[in-house]
Structure 1
Amino acid sequence: MTSLLEPELVAPSSPTPAAPRGIHWGHLLWRVTVVAYAAALLVFVLSLKVDDALAANVVLQVYGYLFAAYLLTRIVVASRYRPDTTTVPDELLPTLVIAVPAFNEEAHVEDTIDALFRVDYPAEKLRVVVVDDGSSDGTWERIVASGVRHPLMDGIRFSRNRGKRAAMAAAVRASDRADLVVFVDSDSVLESQALRELVKPFLGDPTGRVGGVTGHADVQNPGTNLLTRLQQVRYFAAFRVIKAAESRYGAVTCASGCFSAYRRSDLLEVLPEWENQRFLGQEATFGDDRALTNALLRRRREVRYQSTAVSATLVPDRWRAFLRQQLRWKKSWLRETLYVVRFAWRWPLVASLGVYASVAFQLLGPLVALHSIVLRPLFWGGSPWLYMIGLQVVAVLYGLLYAGVKRSPHWWGGIAYAFVYSAVISWQIYWAMVTQRNTSWGTRSSNVSNEGEPLAVAEVVGDPGDTGLPLLCAPGRRVLSIEDAAVAERQPVSDWGVATTRDWVTGVLAVPLSALPVLWWIFWR
């Protein structure tokens, strides 16, 4: 039988013109302000001469020029990014299995499952497999309750906690009737058209080289507190700038675990090495999304970004959990960087240079900051202000990009995040080096280990395929309750409300306030 993903069935089409949308005069004025402010900052940067302050600081001079070139290249390449617009009739859409690994997600897993069944995709081509990775709370009970409402959902419960990779691998093996496997985190929800949009790069690929596609992730809880506001802008830049630029060359270096899809045939090829990955003698228990992306890129598969396939994910709202998450990400970045630098040279020049430059800036950036802000002023009588002004300008430009594209008053979060990143998060890279052998998540009460009783499937809901694990119990079957008709689907926890007047007042006032350091440099330095 011919695969639904073979090139001859692909039917690319030109983009459908979007319906005209009216823009409120206030939004138009906001965009004009944003563009004018960004232009003024660029003029300021271009007008800077290599004066005594800059010329005397050779480190900052070289670093500044290289970083500016890197940043400008990323933005220019990202501006040329366009999402795939391939469309095919419903009967030619690929079959999907959505794999949802869950551990102690009692509070959110039902919202995720309900949201998956609200998406616009042919029911006969869609299954959902939820894997409970030995949770110690009521996650399994919530999965069972969801199975009553959704007959196309299958659930798998591990006999003990084994780790996210094992859960994902079990779902892949159980998805034997699927062309594509879609991974969705248990704290993420999808927009209605997300799946149709996510499969388009596969359908529009005449070569069959696209092995993975990552969707766009927004923050689901931006209004919780200051920390979530900061992450809102950071997520936008990470996806709409970094991943968009990488996608131009089919070289997205991390297909986000929030929402990504892969050809099942490619997954089966890399599954053994990925599932059993070890580093420095320790089992790799996190960074599964980056490791899986690397495994595909190393085999010359392409990984792309589809900006129109949108999910919303819950982000940490406490600093302790956030910093632990960032440390975990730094560790996986360090580990996977040692692999990607070995083959990135094979990519187009702009893509490969982007990878090597990002590695250099991640490793050397904190040291340049230390030299410019602390060591040089203390020992050589230099001024720290040039570095601080440069950081301020870059942070404001990132925030303005968010303000212009999203028409959002919360753009100031980008400025705050840049300074938090420079002062705290960037330094975690060195702690990550020292503690690389510690594979604890730090944010979940799990005890992932190969030791102990053999891993098995303790319970199932529905009729999942073979997971490759021994089955301790008889396969489960849904009992359709007479209450089914009365069970109303939960509403997604995502808040898509319009910004309040207070938000706009704050956003507007942040414009002149953010310009004060630059004005000080020009007139009163």
Structure 2
Amino acid sequence: MNLPLVYYVLGTPLGVLGLIRWGAWLIRRIPAVTYTPIAGDHPASLAIVVPVYQEDPEILATAIESWLANRVDQIVLVVDVSDTICQDVAARYPVEVIITDVPGKRDALRRGWRAARTELVALVDSDTIWAPDVADEVRKPFADPRIGGVGTRQSVYGSSGFLARITDMFLDHRYFDENAAQSRLGRAVSCLSGRTAVYRRRILLDIEEEFMAETFWGVPCLSGDDKRLTTLTLERGHLTYMQRTAEVLSTFPTGWRVFFRQRLRWARNTWRSDLRALSKPWVWRHPFLAYTMVDKGLSGFTLLLGPGFFVYSLLQGNWIFCVVLVAWWQLSRAAKLLPHIRRRPSSLFFVLGYVAVSWVMAFIKIYALVTIRTQRWGTRQVAVENGEVVRTGSDPVAAVPIPAPPGALELPVPATERERIPA
């Protein structure tokens, strides 16, 4: 096949870049293959803290039952005052309930871990369902006193459409590649997902002031709580680990609009956290963690060069070259997704869809960098206005005392009185 000179002028650097990207992947993949979950027992007390805001009542009930089945020591639900339906659901179970009229997730998390009376605290999303042995599995890494936080492995719950399949592929790629490698090399996972992340309570109390006061370029941070908690834990000299034997299920967007908004929020959070981290000395004490942050930041730009070259080839009518390129994407991505395809062989037919969505996510990542100061939450009616976190719904909740359901706890004391709370 005779190709115009432009293909060699452009194709040769792209080929070299492709080899570099494969080398970058192998740097992660080789240690990831050698990852093993931590075994043994560690009988530490464990509480579950759950911020609840307009959750599907059936999902919430299923999640609560899964947490109770794990026989944890304490379950604390911090429910927004406007969410009377979830308050009624929580009242049916032997859990502790805190009613809050403060908008935003961060304050709810803080109220929850202050109410905990255990050594370990699991921060859990209200749509996350635990396997029967999660509590036992997430305790095990804490036998190492250096471990400050532990993450779990996630899968998609309750949907089987295209986006659900693609999301499941991205999740497995994360837990069998990036997080496994970070756990293996240095025990420094960059982000313990907020769907279920377990911390030593004393660490949460130690970092809460910085957590609540986080700003970026003078704007208070509204989301990104999981990334921030992980970063502050690592900054304090503790280690973080992914315990892949602790499996949880969670709901994910099935519509494109919500998917885009969620990914945009996540991308902004990642840019803010990683750029801040790379400017500080602590991250360079974890060389592999720093490497993955840099590599992740660059990949959003390099990923779009391939489809750009593909579009150029289509416009030039070089169909054979286009077919070869599509075949390469199918084979190369399937190789990188092999752990997932072993679990779900039918995902082999979704590989090109995965490739296309990864391009969309690369565009989102670049847009997120351009709009990095924007603070919005796609699923909560809260936003940052004039430097403050406020409700954005049509029916604002008045900041007045409200009756709590049976068994509810009094609201914990303000942040300025943290020293009065025993650790």
What is the TM-score normalised by the length of structure 1? Answer: 0.69
Amino acid paired to 1:185: D
Q: Following TM superposition, by how much is the alpha carbon of 1:171 offset from its aligned partner in structure 2, in angstroms?
A: 0.5
CA distance in 2, matches of 1:457, 1:346: 48
CA distance in 1, matches of 2:369, 2:344: 39
CA distance in 2, matches of 1:140, 1:127: 18
Distance 1:456 1:278, change over 3 A: farther
Amino acid paired to 2:370: V
CA distance in 1, matches of 2:272, 2:403: 33
Q: Following TM superposition, by how much is the alpha carbon of 1:377 offset from its aligned partner in structure 2, in angstroms?
A: 7.7
Aligned residue number for residue 20 of structure 1: none
Instruction: Say whether the 8 Å CA contact 1:402–1:411 is kept in structure 2.
Output: no
Q: 142, 166, 183: which is aligned to 2:107?
A: 166
Q: Following TM superposition, by how much is the alpha carbon of 1:378 offset from its aligned partner in structure 2, in angstroms?
A: 6.8
Q: Following TM superposition, by how much is the alpha carbon of 1:79 offset from its aligned partner in structure 2, in angstroms?
A: 0.5
Q: Are residue 179 (structure 1) and residue 126 (structure 2) matched? A: no
Match of 1:317, SS state, is: coil
Amino acid paired to 1:421: S
Aligned residue number for residue 271 of structure 1: 208
Aligned residue number for residue 395 of structure 1: 333
Aligned residue number for residue 421 of structure 2: none
Amino acid paired to 1:180: L
Aligned residue number for residue 346 of structure 1: 285
Distance 1:345 1:457, change over 3 A: farther
Q: Following TM superposition, by how much is the alpha carbon of 1:419 offset from its aligned partner in structure 2, in angstroms?
A: 1.7
Instruction: Say whether the 8 Å CA contact 1:131–1:171 is kept in structure 2.
Output: yes
Instruction: Say whether the 8 Å CA contact 1:173–1:466 is kept in structure 2.
Output: no
Amino acid paired to 2:297: V
Aligned residue number for residue 296 of structure 2: 358
Q: Following TM superposition, by how much is the alpha carbon of 1:457 offset from its aligned partner in structure 2, in angstroms?
A: 7.6
Q: Are residue 286 (structure 1) and residue 223 (structure 2) matched? A: yes
Q: Following TM superposition, by how much is the alpha carbon of 1:451 offset from its aligned partner in structure 2, in angstroms?
A: 5.7
Amino acid paired to 2:67: L
Match of 2:137, SS state, is: helix
Aligned residue number for residue 68 of structure 1: 22
Instruction: Say whether the 8 Å CA contact 2:382–2:389 is kept in structure 1.
Output: no
Q: Are residue 133 (structure 1) and residue 107 (structure 2) matched? A: no
Q: 99, 105, 115: which is aligned to 2:55?
A: 105
CA distance in 2, matches of 1:135, 1:375: 53
Match of 2:303, SS state, is: helix
Q: Following TM superposition, by how much is the alpha carbon of 1:76 offset from its aligned partner in structure 2, in angstroms?
A: 1.3
Instruction: Say whether the 8 Å CA contact 1:290–1:332 is kept in structure 2.
Output: yes
Instruction: Say whether the 8 Å CA contact 1:54–1:60 is kept in structure 2.
Output: no
CA distance in 1, matches of 2:188, 2:403: 39
Aligned residue number for residue 508 of structure 1: none
Task: Give the alignment of 1:197-236 within 5 angstroms.
Answer: 197-203=137-143, 205=144, 208-223=145-160, 225-236=161-172
CA distance in 2, matches of 1:457, 1:98: 24
Aligned residue number for residue 13 of structure 2: 59
CA distance in 1, matches of 2:403, 2:335: 52
Instruction: Say whether the 8 Å CA contact 1:70–1:354 is kept in structure 2.
Output: no
CA distance in 1, matches of 2:368, 2:46: 37
Task: Give the alignment of 1:316-355 within 5 angstroms.
Answer: 316-342=253-279, 343-348=282-287, 350-355=288-293
CA distance in 2, matches of 1:142, 1:284: 30
Instruction: Say whether the 8 Å CA contact 1:372–1:387 is kept in structure 2.
Output: no
- Counting matched residue pairs gives 396
Aligned residue number for residue 253 of structure 1: 190
Structure 1, unaligned stretches of length 5 or more? 1-50, 471-525
Instruction: Say whether the 8 Å CA contact 1:106–1:142 is kept in structure 2.
Output: no
Q: Following TM superposition, by how much is the alpha carbon of 1:458 offset from its aligned partner in structure 2, in angstroms?
A: 5.6
Match of 1:98, SS state, is: strand
Instruction: Say whether the 8 Å CA contact 1:233–1:413 is kept in structure 2.
Output: no
Distance 1:228 1:390, change over 3 A: same
Q: Percent identity?
A: 26
CA distance in 1, matches of 2:85, 2:412: 23
Match of 1:199, SS state, is: helix
Distance 1:457 1:435, change over 3 A: farther
- Render the CA deviation track for 1:151-197: whole Å, top value 9, x for unaligned: xx10011124x11111101111111x210110111001000010100
Aligned residue number for residue 262 of structure 1: 199
Match of 1:215, SS state, is: strand
Range 178-187 or range 447-456, more displaced: 447-456
Structure 2, unaligned stretches of length 5 or more? 392-397, 416-423
Aligned residue number for residue 128 of structure 2: 188
CA distance in 1, matches of 2:400, 2:75: 22
Aligned residue number for residue 83 of structure 1: 37
Q: Are residue 116 (structure 1) and residue 67 (structure 2) matched? A: yes
Range 433-442 or range 407-416, more displaced: 407-416
Distance 1:237 1:451, change over 3 A: closer
CA distance in 2, matches of 1:280, 1:340: 14
Q: Following TM superposition, by how much is the alpha carbon of 1:312 offset from its aligned partner in structure 2, in angstroms?
A: 0.4
Distance 1:447 1:106, change over 3 A: farther
Q: Following TM superposition, by how much is the alpha carbon of 1:198 offset from its aligned partner in structure 2, in angstroms?
A: 0.4
CA distance in 1, matches of 2:409, 2:120: 16
Q: Following TM superposition, by how much is the alpha carbon of 1:460 offset from its aligned partner in structure 2, in angstroms?
A: 5.9
Aligned residue number for residue 154 of structure 1: 96
Distance 1:329 1:458, change over 3 A: farther
CA distance in 2, matches of 1:163, 1:355: 27
- Render the CA deviation track for 1:344-395: whole Å, top value 9, x for unaligned: 32214x44323322221124433x236523468879x996666544433332
Over aligned residues, Cα RMSD in angstroms?
2.8
Q: Following TM superposition, by how much is the alpha carbon of 1:273 offset from its aligned partner in structure 2, in angstroms?
A: 0.7
Match of 1:145, SS state, is: coil
CA distance in 2, matches of 1:277, 1:461: 34
CA distance in 1, matches of 2:237, 2:9: 44
- Render the CA deviation track for 1:74-116: whole Å, top value 9, x for unaligned: 221110000000225xxxx111110011110142222211110
Q: Are residue 239 (structure 1) and residue 179 (structure 2) matched? A: no
Instruction: Say whether the 8 Å CA contact 2:172–2:339 is kept in structure 1.
Output: no
Range 79-88 or range 454-463, more displaced: 454-463
Structure number with bigger Rg:
1
What is the TM-score normalised by the length of structure 2? Answer: 0.85
Amino acid paired to 1:394: S
Q: Following TM superposition, by how much is the alpha carbon of 1:280 offset from its aligned partner in structure 2, in angstroms?
A: 2.6
Match of 2:404, SS state, is: strand
Q: 451, 454, 467: which is aligned to 2:412?
A: 467
Instruction: Say whether the 8 Å CA contact 1:220–1:313 is kept in structure 2.
Output: yes
Q: 280, 300, 306: which is aligned to 1:369?
A: 306
Distance 1:457 1:165, change over 3 A: farther
- Render the CA deviation track for 1:430-453: whole Å, top value 9, x for unaligned: 221233333121233345754696
